[in-house]
Amino acid sequence: MKITGIRTHVLKSPLAQPFAFSQGWVPTRSATLVEITTDSGPVGWGEAFAQGMEAPEISAAVIEHALAPLLSGANPLDIEVLWHRMYHRTRDYGRKGSVVAAISAIDIALWDIAGKHYGVPVSRLLGGAFRETVQPYATGFYRIEGQGEAPRLADEALQHYDAGFRAMKIKLGFGVDDDIAVMRAIGRAVEGKGVTLMVDSNHAYGRTEALRLGYVLDEYDLRWYEEPVVPEDIDGYVELRSKLRTPIAGGENEHTLYGFGELMRRGAVDIAQPDIGSCGGVSALRHIAVLGQAQGIEINPHVWGSAVAQAASLQVLAALPVTHHSLFARGPILEYDRSSHPFRRELVTEPMSLEDGVVRISQGPGLGIELVPEALERYRVN
Ligand code: CA
C-alpha cells in the first residue's frame, strides 16, 4: 500500500457576528483539512488546529512544502514510523505551533486510512473502546460586547442546561472584576441544578491576577481552571496549583510527548488537555496518554475545529483509560462548542450531536465520517 496524493483544503467562512475570547475578536471560521489518497483505495482525512485568529494557510503550507515530500510513496500503515520521520525532519524549525499542527493533520489522516483498510474504527486500533458514549460539556459564553455581559451569559447557561448539558465551561479573561461578576451571575443561575462548572481564561493574566481570580473561583467547586497563565510560564502553573484548591488544566497550546512530558514532570497541571489537531495527532495523543497514566495526571482532550477533528477526538476519547480506577471512576468529558459553526454541521453526512445528554461515538471504519464534497467546495479558498 502506498500514499499516492496529499491535498490540502483551506476553508473559510465569515461570521455574521464576530465574537471574542480573551485574546481577541474572531471574525472568520477557518480550517485546514488534509486528504490523503492511496493506491489501494482508502482515502484518509485529517485536520490541523486553526484557532480563530490563526491563518489556516500556515499549516497548509507546511503540509505541502515540508511534509508531503517526506511521505511520497510511503506505506500509510507505517504510522508511528512516519510520525517520527515528520517530527525529526522538522525539529529545527518546528516542535510547536503550526508545524506540529500540520503533522497532526497528516497523522489523523493516516489513522483514518488504517481504520478503513482494516475495516475497524480507530478506537479499535488504539486497543479498543472503554466507552461508546461520552458526556459532553458545553463550551460557549463568548463575548459579543466584551465586558458587562453577565446577565446575558447567565441566560446562556440556562439555554445549555435546557439543551441537556449538565457540565459547562465559562470563558473568562475579560478583566478580573468582570470575570467575577460573570461567575456570580452564572453561579446563581445554575445553583441547585447539579451543573458542573469549569472556567477558561485563555491565558489572559499574569500570576497575580490569575491568583486573585483563582481565590474567588475556589468558592465554586470547579472541575478545572484552564490556561490561567501563558503556556510558557510553567512555574506560574506550579505556583497556582500549590495555592489554589481548584484543579489546574492546560495544554491546548502545548505539543507532543516532549512538551507534555515537561508539563507533567514539573507538576504544572492536574489535567492535561492535548488537542488532537495541534499536539501531533492521534499518535501524539496516545504517547501523551501513556505519560499521563504513568504520572496520575488526567488527560482530557481539548476539542476544536471542524467535524473531522471532532470525529478524531471522539475516537481517542473512546480509547482513553480512566486515570484513577474505581467503581465510579471519573472519565474524560467531551468539549462540545455550542457556537454556530458551518464546518461542523455541513462537512459530514452525520454531524456530532447530543442524544439523551450524551454523544455517541461512531463505530464506522476509520474516523467513522463521510465528507460532503459540495460543502468542501462551498468553503474552499485554495
Ligand atoms: Ca481553552
| Nearest-angstrom CA–CA distance, 244 and 134 | 29
The C-alpha cell at 172 is 473568562
Please tell me the predicted confidence (pLDDT) of residue 33. 98
223: exposed, middle or buried (C-beta count within 10 Å: 0-12, 13-18, 19+)? buried
The single residue of 302, 324, 325, 341 carrying the catalytic annotation is 302
Please tell me the predicted confidence (pLDDT) of residue 340. 83
Residue the block writes with cell 461520552: 134
Alpha carbon of 252 to ligand 1 centroid (Å): 7
Alpha carbon of 344 to ligand 1 centroid (Å): 18
Please tell me the predicted confidence (pLDDT) of residue 5. 98
Buried/exposed 318-334: b ≥16 CB within 10 Å, e otherwise: bbbeebeeeeeeeebbb
Please tell me the predicted confidence (pLDDT) of residue 51. 85
**Run means of pLDDT, 10 residues per run, the chain, 382 residues:** 98 93 94 97 97 93 98 97 98 98 99 98 98 97 96 98 97 98 98 98 98 98 98 98 98 98 98 98 98 97 97 98 95 94 95 95 98 96 95
Domains and CATH numbers, the chain: 3-119+373-379 (3.30.390.10), 124-360 (3.20.20.120)
Q: How far apart are the first and last CA of the chain?
A: 28
Q: Is 84 a catalytic residue?
A: no
Residue 283 · residue 312 · CB < 8 Å: no
Please tell me the predicted confidence (pLDDT) of residue 52. 82
Residue 176 · residue 213 · CB < 8 Å: yes
Q: Please give the model's pTM, rounded to 2 decimal places.
A: 0.98
Please tell me the predicted confidence (pLDDT) of residue 176. 98
70: exposed, middle or buried (C-beta count within 10 Å: 0-12, 13-18, 19+)? middle
Residues with CB under 5 A from ligand 1 (ion): 200
Alpha carbon of 249 to ligand 1 centroid (Å): 9
Relative orientation angle of helices 281-295 and 256-265, to the nearest 10 degrees: 20
